[in-house]
Structures are given as structure tokens and as C-alpha cells.
A = this chain, B = another copy of it.
Amino acid sequence: MDIIVLQPDTADEEIRHILKKLESKGLKAHVSQGTERTIIGVIGDTSKVTEEEEAAIRVMAGVENVVRILKPYKLASRDFKKQTTAIDAGLGVVIGGKKISIMAGPCSVENRSSMMLVAEKVKEAGANILRGGAFKPRTSPYSFQGLGEEGLQYLAEARKKTGLPIITELMDSRDLDVIMKYADIIQIGTRNMQNFRLLLEVGSVNKPVLLKRGLSATIKEWLMSAEYIMSRGNQQVMLCERGIRTFETATRNTLDLSAIPVLKQLTHLPVVVDPSHGVGKWDLVAPMAKAAVAAGADALMIEVHCNPEEALSDGEQSLRPDHFAKLMQELKLIALAVGREI
């Protein structure tokens, strides 16, 4: 049911026009005359009223506002599925259960030897998923853009050596085939959260998708993007908070940890947090990682680099392996304190 609020002094003819419109859509209406406003309650299956139809009503003479009662997403909604979805990333790793997964590795795969080294280091420290980018979205055309398939091969080799499944970013639908060939989890980056064509593509494959929140996306829009993927059949979606844009400049972004409990209420999909991008400075990563676990995150994604001074991207926010190993110990204690494990 939706509610149409009328302007004061709406003419009867205008009201009749609105009612006729609703009728033409197969909807019934109940008019209530209040002391200061008249409202129309729309009866019937309003979940089928599209955005366009809603907008068309908003624009009609006499209409002050339209209030939608139902959420615009369905498959992603906790109403639709009560139990938290557990996502199988392969090689024995499941995201969304009691165990909190830790995805770690470099921002971008830079060369074979450094990839193998960091992979062993994060495995040793207790990470259970390996991250690394082969196609990199960079704000400057003059910056390093990733190794492409060569990078994916190094990731696969590191997987073979460590036994850890790998996650890597898909930036363009033309790369889907090559990404499918190597990745265990497909990452959709912040800048592509509303690249709707790309969402439909990964909605049609049979691989888990990690959907990062857009830089200024509301939680509702984020869930609509998950819905896009799920509407094509792929239900293995996890949501990754990575900081939103605010006026604050002391951090790269503002990590919105309240998104964790909000999502836990609204959706059954697992929630991942990326503190590295959230804060953008390596010495702020540890406290925010701990906070994310305390707030209920199902997984973390953390950038680790053996030599941040020489990193080709995001060196500023990468942990060295020794710092990461120390953090893992601390995270285990927090996980225990909230009844989880790492």
C-alpha cells in the first residue's frame, strides 16, 4: 500500500483524475479527508508500481507527495529470506557463518615474486582469502593500471601454493571471461556499484560477488544494486562497506560502521568491511578493523604489502606483514568477545 498526499485545496476534478489514473493501473484507492490534508491510500499490489509510474503520479496536478510503504528491493530483503546467506568461496571457505573471514593481500598484483611472498605472509598470519587487483581503476591516466591477465596468473599461482581462494576486481564486462577463469570471488568496485550493465553480467554467472558500496551511495541504493545482480539469478552476493564521502578530510573516506547493524536488519546478505580504503592511512587500519569485528562484520578486507614504500598503488594504506600478523592476533580476541571466531 502506498499513500498519496494531496495539496490543500485540490479540486475535486483533480482528485477524480488521479483516481482514474490509479484505476487504469489496476489499483484501488481509499480517499481520507483529514482536517488539513486529504490523502489517498492505494490498495492492491503496489510492489508492481514502477518508479516511472510513481513519478508520473507525483507530477499530477494536486499531488503534494507520494509515500511508498514497501522497500524497493525484494530478493535482497530480510523480509524475503530470514536466514543469513552463507556464501561458499571454495577451498573450504564460507562467508556468513560463525567464522569471520579475512581477505588480505596487496592493492594490485605488481610482479610474481612479491605476490608469492605476500601471499605466504598473509596465509601464515591467518588470512583465509587472498586479494589482489589485476585491472586497476586509477584516477590519473598517468598511473599504473594493473598487469591484466598476467596478474591473474600470479594470483592463481599464489592460490595453488597457499590453498587460499582469491578475490579480484572486474572493471569491464569485456574482462568477465578472463576473470571467471581465475577468480573465486568477483569484486565489483566502488565506482561500478551503479554500473548496471556490469551488475547484470555478474548476475548471470555462478560465482560469488563482493559488491562494494558506492562513494556516496545510500544503503537503500546499495541494496538495489545487489537486487540487480540477484534479479538475474546469482544469489551469492556479499556487501562491502569501504567508506563514504563526507566533508571530513583527516581520513580518505568516512568508514560507516553503522552500516553493519543496519544491513543486518534489512538484508540476509553477508557484510564485509574494508578498513584500508575506509581510512586511507595504514596506522588507522588496525583500530577500525577491530571496531568492524566488534560491530558484527562477517569478513574484513585488508591491504597488505611487503614494502609499502615501493607499492605501485595504495602504499599509504597498506599494512606491512608484521603489523598485519599482530592485528590478526588482536582480531581473534575481539571475535571471541562477540561470540565469533577467526
Q: Does A301 contact B (CB under 8 A)?
A: no
Contacts of A47 in B (CB 8 A): 36
Q: Provide the bound-state CA to CA distance between A257 and B287, in Å.
A: 9
Q: Does A125 contact B (CB under 8 A)?
A: no
A1 near B39 with CB under 8 A, answer yes
A258 with B262: in contact, given A141-B200, A194-B191 (CB under 8 Å)? no
A5 with B69: in contact, given A140-B50, A216-B245, A255-B257 (CB under 8 Å)? yes
Q: Provide the bound-state CA to CA distance between A138 and B262, in Å.
A: 24
Q: In the complex, what's the smallest C-beta–C-beta distance from A102 to chain B, in angstroms? A: 16
Q: Provide the bound-state CA to CA distance between A210 and B231, in Å.
A: 32
A248 with B336: in contact, given A30-B32, A36-B47 (CB under 8 Å)? no
B3 near A72 with CB under 8 A, answer no
Which stretch of A85-93, A115-123, A151-159, A290-298 is in the interface?
A: A290-298
Q: Does A278 contact B (CB under 8 A)?
A: yes
Q: Does A83 contact B (CB under 8 A)?
A: no
- Contact of A35 (CB < 8 Å), options: B41, B45, B225: B45
Which stretch of A126-134, A160-168, A179-187, A311-319 is in the interface?
A: A311-319
B50 near A144 with CB under 8 A, answer yes
B315 near A69 with CB under 8 A, answer no
Q: Provide the bound-state CA to CA distance between A250 and B214, in Å.
A: 15
Contacts of A195 in B (CB 8 A): 191-192, 195
Q: In the complex, what's the smallest C-beta–C-beta distance from A304 to chain B, in angstroms? A: 13
- Contact of A137 (CB < 8 Å), options: B174, B194, B260, B336: B194
Contacts of A228 in B (CB 8 A): 141
- Contact of A34 (CB < 8 Å), options: B43, B219, B287: B43
- Contact of A244 (CB < 8 Å), options: B67, B231, B248: B248
Contacts of A215 in B (CB 8 A): 214-216
Q: In the complex, what's the smallest C-beta–C-beta distance from A279 to chain B, in angstroms? A: 5
Contacts of A194 in B (CB 8 A): 137, 139, 191
Q: Provide the bound-state CA to CA distance between A227 and B55, in Å.
A: 31
Q: Provide the bound-state CA to CA distance between A172 and B215, in Å.
A: 20
Q: Does A308 contact B (CB under 8 A)?
A: yes
Q: Provide the bound-state CA to CA distance between A58 and B249, in Å.
A: 16
B34 near A1 with CB under 8 A, answer yes
CB-CB contacts below 8 Å: A287-342 with B: 287-288, 290-296, 308-316, 318, 330, 333-334, 336-338
Taking each of A55, A199, A214, A244, which has the highest tally of chain B beta carbons within 10 Å of its own beta carbon? Answer: A55
A330 with B338: in contact, given A258-B251, A261-B287 (CB under 8 Å)? yes
Beyond A191-B194, A250-B262, 17 additional pairs, beta carbon < 8 A: A21-B309, A34-B69, A52-B144, A58-B316, A60-B309, A65-B69, A67-B67, A139-B221, A140-B227, A145-B196, A171-B196, A216-B216, A218-B250, A244-B246, A247-B247, A250-B259, A255-B257
